[in-house]
Structure 1
């Protein structure tokens, strides 16, 4: 999808979400409006990807955890949010039993060991940043991250242009 059409689709979905939120909630606090803007933007950018990426499905799944967002998600994305039956959780012990070893390991090269630790820590950090990234392998994570960054840039660009346009229409008054 071209960048311009992606921006147009995001803007259309975002405005639809903001209109839906304002029609349901007339008197809201600044915090509630901020939350609604972020939620609408997240759902709008995820719906532009048509559930083709894991991060978009993860964003919609996160938003749908709150039952009050279900209608908003369905109206913006045009898809029905499936209602999942709650599964019973099984508590497992996280303790791992270690076997004692008598053989000594050979010392690994220090530079290689440091590089591996650095890559692992950065991969873990990236998995936490990308929605749905926790269950991805490294190749999928890189592909999803690139797609997510492109979508975030579209989101930031459109929201920035909207803020600039709003500033021109309604100049900020100082007290």
Structure 2
């Protein structure tokens, strides 16, 4: 998977600057907390558009659109596309329905097998837990954590979850790199615009003042 090649940097910068501009125009003056929220919202939305259509980008846009405080900003950023995207991303995907069915069947089988193991353990006097069971429990705990971190990860399992997690992490890294580059560019431009006060005219003015005082 070549995620870095598919991450469109120009699209990211365009959407980020548009989001910041819309946020400033909606609420002016803007507080520090509102500024932080607008930067995060604009950066996440820009990352989703720069990456393209994937499972986690759909889930991320849906999550952003569900928050009431984001609706006005999203309408300003997306324009006519807002209603279309929200209708498209809010509808449950067919893949999510299939994953829900698989998850329900798997959970039923797991609960049935667990009940059988508990009943057999009660019959025996001493039961040793096999290393495979310990490894499976550890894998299940890590999978639950990964599903909470990846947008839309609760509907994914197995290789699809790992693929989406890798894609999401690499896109986050590209987002951070672009934000750092933009911050460095703004710092350089702001430092170059500082006007230095010339020292020679001041010295000449001071000299004329001393001559006038001496003549008096």
Which residue matches 1:25?
Answer: 27
Partners of 1:117 and 1:5 in 2: CA distance: 35
Which residue matches 1:109?
Answer: 130
Does the CA-based 8 Å contact 2:7-2:174 persist in structure 1?
A: no
5+ residue gaps, structure 1: 85-95
CA shift for structure 1 position 56: 0.8
Measured on the aligned residues, the alpha-carbon RMSD in Å equals 3.1
Does the CA-based 8 Å contact 1:16-1:76 persist in structure 2?
A: no
Which residue matches 1:82?
Answer: 87
| TM-score normalised per structure 2 | 0.63
Which residue matches 1:56?
Answer: 57
- Decide which structure has the larger Cα Rg and report it: 2
* SS of the residue 2:188 aligns to: helix
Deviations 1:71-110 (A, max 9, x none): 53353484532297xxxxxxxxxxx9x7983644964423
Partners of 1:116 and 1:166 in 2: CA distance: 49
- The total of aligned residue pairs comes to 159
| TM-score normalised per structure 1 | 0.76
Does the CA-based 8 Å contact 2:147-2:153 persist in structure 1?
A: yes
Which residue matches 2:213?
Answer: none
User: Closer, same or farther in 2 for the Cα pair 1:47/1:72, shift >3 Å?
Assistant: farther
Report the structure, 1 or 2, having the larger helix content.
Answer: 2
Does the CA-based 8 Å contact 1:18-1:36 persist in structure 2?
A: yes
Deviations 1:101-144 (A, max 9, x none): 3644964423x233222211111111111111112112111110
5+ residue gaps, structure 2: 91-110, 192-216
Partners of 1:142 and 1:8 in 2: CA distance: 27
Partners of 1:35 and 1:62 in 2: CA distance: 14
**Selected match of 1:120 from 140, 153, 157:** 140
